């Protein structure tokens, strides 16, 4: 008999590029039998451990969403951090039909959101397995970790932040105490005990402002900041992204 | 008979120092017979026109308030802007008793706030005369102008921003639709039509959060941003000051 070695927890597969000093690599990771597709961004030629930011994308999009790439590149280029994103449930490379984004993906998410009470638990488990795997990489290591996720990135990311003590600062928002997983969100909000910057769009057509303010109010963070901008759900001004990045960077000290 | 020349609209008097590249000068200005005491900050050796930010201080303090100096120095050093502050009613060098700050000054302000319906109009006139005078200086000139003022800086500054079309961006907050001049504030809020960043302290013991959110909602700015932080009236986190400065700087283009 031979001993079958355990499969490696995180393996690089597919895209491996360097652009403007940012090394971008696709990875796959096995979590409870699921193959989790992700992207890792690190400074070109990075050595040694560094702060890491996990980025959750929005519904009907993927780990390659425009603003995910913007946030990741700025974190790497300005601060030398690592950043990583994984596809959400029924999104991106988790799909077998090759449909990358759009209404069809959104409907699939809405279906999963309504039907599957385990969707949140599954995504939290995938994120935690991803964090385990990333911390074993010498160019990431066991440094301080932040989370950045809006809209679906908060629906699935707030429970992650609540559950994961290694995450010590978070950017959340574009979401309220509402939706099919309202009970889960409301139950987890007081368990978010790290500093949080929370984004609200004043005229959000998906999640009413009042529900967003209610969710913000129920976070039990020792330091929390609400940043609300005029406009619809998707109309977050570009300079707000910069402020969220600065908020994270100032709270993720470089590890010794 | 000889013709008496008009007194110069703005004259430098008293302090004239350079520290870390920031040229700080006291000035006096005559407005409707009032002698308005102010401070101007410009880059050392500045030539030519540049963006200008007017800074309104808080009650019981003066144009030398810690955060006024911080904001002014950062605007000058990071962006090469000019910044100016004048003492509020019954504050700073407008007082004849030499009491610079503290409860006695606060009580005096509260009295003026309750008794004198012209307090706001007087301060708006003083600011507009100051702006006239500053724009005649070659090292300031007729560049784009912003306003920054919290608490009393908003009580007196929101009406200024509403009245003054030369001000094209503002940082306001730590104030609600409340207080002795509530009617004036509420009437002027819809006349604020430039981009605004509005600060709220979630646990403000002076101006209830709901009244602050109400005031924010009633601003008619095409772009407005609410930034709310946990904590009491005076507990604005330091990095928020940075974000307010960035907000102004990005919206005050360098003049040709």
The answer to whether B230 touches B203, Cβ cutoff 8 Å, is yes
In a domain, A150, yes or no: yes
Find the mean pLDDT for residues B175-195: 95
In a domain, B256, yes or no: no
Find the mean pLDDT for residues B59-80: 94
Q: Which residues contact B47 (CB under 8 A, 6 or more apart)?
A: B138, B139
In a domain, A200, yes or no: yes
Work out the minimum CA distance from B225 to partner chain A, whole angstroms. Answer: 4
**Does position B102 have pLDDT exceeding 80, yes or no?**
no
Range of the domain at B160: 10-250
Q: What pLDDT is recorded for position A256?
A: 84
Minimum CA–CA partner of A217 in chain B: B202
In a domain, A256, yes or no: no
For residue B23, the domain's CATH number is: 3.40.50.1820
| Radius of gyration, CA atoms only, chain B | 17
Residue among A154, A156, A143 at smallest CA distance from A244:
A154
Please, what is the average pLDDT of chain A? 93
Both structure tokens of B101 = 């700050």
**Does position A247 have pLDDT exceeding 60, yes or no?**
yes
Residues B246, A243: C-beta atoms closer than 8 Å:
yes
- If contacts are CB pairs under 8 Å, which of residues 176-215 in chain B contact chain A? 200, 202
pLDDT digits (tens, 9 = 90+) for A132-190: 999 999 999 999 999 999 999 999 999 999 999 999 999 999 999 999 999 999 999 99
This model of the complex carries an ipTM of: 0.79
Work out the minimum CA distance from A172 to partner chain B, whole angstroms. Answer: 14
- Is the minimum CB–CB distance between A227 and chain B shorter than 8 Å? yes
In a domain, B232, yes or no: yes
Q: How far is CA A212 from CA A21, A205, A244, B218, B224, in A?
A: 37, 12, 17, 19, 17
In a domain, A1, yes or no: no
Minimum CA–CA partner of A221 in chain B: B230
- Is the minimum CB–CB distance between A246 and chain B shorter than 8 Å? yes
Chain A residues close to B222, C-beta within 8 Å? 230
In a domain, B47, yes or no: yes
Find the mean pLDDT for residues B144-160: 97
Strands A196-201 vs A167-173: parallel, antiparallel or unpaired:
parallel
Query: What's the structural domain count of chain A?
Result: 1
pLDDT digits (tens, 9 = 90+) for A71-120: 999 999 999 999 999 999 888 888 888 777 778 888 888 888 888 778 99
Q: Which residues contact A88 (CB under 8 A, 6 or more apart)?
A: A56, A57, A59, A62, A94, A109, A123, A152, A156
**Does position B23 have pLDDT exceeding 60, yes or no?**
yes
Sign of the torsion formed by the C-alpha atoms of A160, A162, A166 and A171: positive
Q: What pLDDT is recorded for position A1?
A: 55
């Amino acid at each position: 008999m031979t001993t079958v070695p355990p499969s490696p927890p995180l393996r690089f597969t597919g895209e491996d590029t360097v652009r403007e000093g940012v090394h971008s690599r696709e990875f796959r990771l096995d979590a409870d039998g699921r193959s989790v597709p992700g992207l890792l961004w690190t400074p070109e030629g990075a050595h040694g451990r560094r702060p890491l930011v996990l980025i959750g994308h929005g519904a009907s999009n993927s780990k390659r969403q425009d603003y995910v790439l913007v946030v990741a590149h700025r974190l790497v280029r300005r601060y030398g951090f690592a950043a990583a994103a994984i596809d959400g449930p029924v999104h991106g490379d988790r799909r077998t039909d090759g449909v990358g984004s759009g209404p069809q993906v959104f409907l699939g998410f809405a279906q999963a959101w309504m039907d599957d009470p385990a969707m949140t638990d599954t995504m939290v488990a995938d994120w935690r397995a991803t964090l385990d795997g990333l911390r074993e990489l010498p160019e990431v290591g066991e440094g301080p970790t932040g989370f950045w996720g809006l809209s679906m990135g908060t629906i699935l990311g707030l429970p992650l932040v609540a559950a994961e003590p290694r995450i010590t600062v978070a950017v959340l928002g574009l979401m309220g105490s509402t939706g099919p997983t309202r009970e889960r969100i409301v139950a987890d909000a007081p368990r978010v005990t790290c500093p949080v910057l929370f984004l609200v769009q004043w005229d959000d057509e998906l999640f009413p402002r009042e529900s967003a303010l209610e969710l913000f109010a129920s976070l039990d963070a020792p330091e929390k900041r609400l940043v609300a901008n005029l406009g619809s759900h998707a109309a977050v001004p570009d300079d707000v992204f910069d402020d969220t990045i600065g908020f994270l960077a100032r709270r993720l000290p470089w590890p010794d």
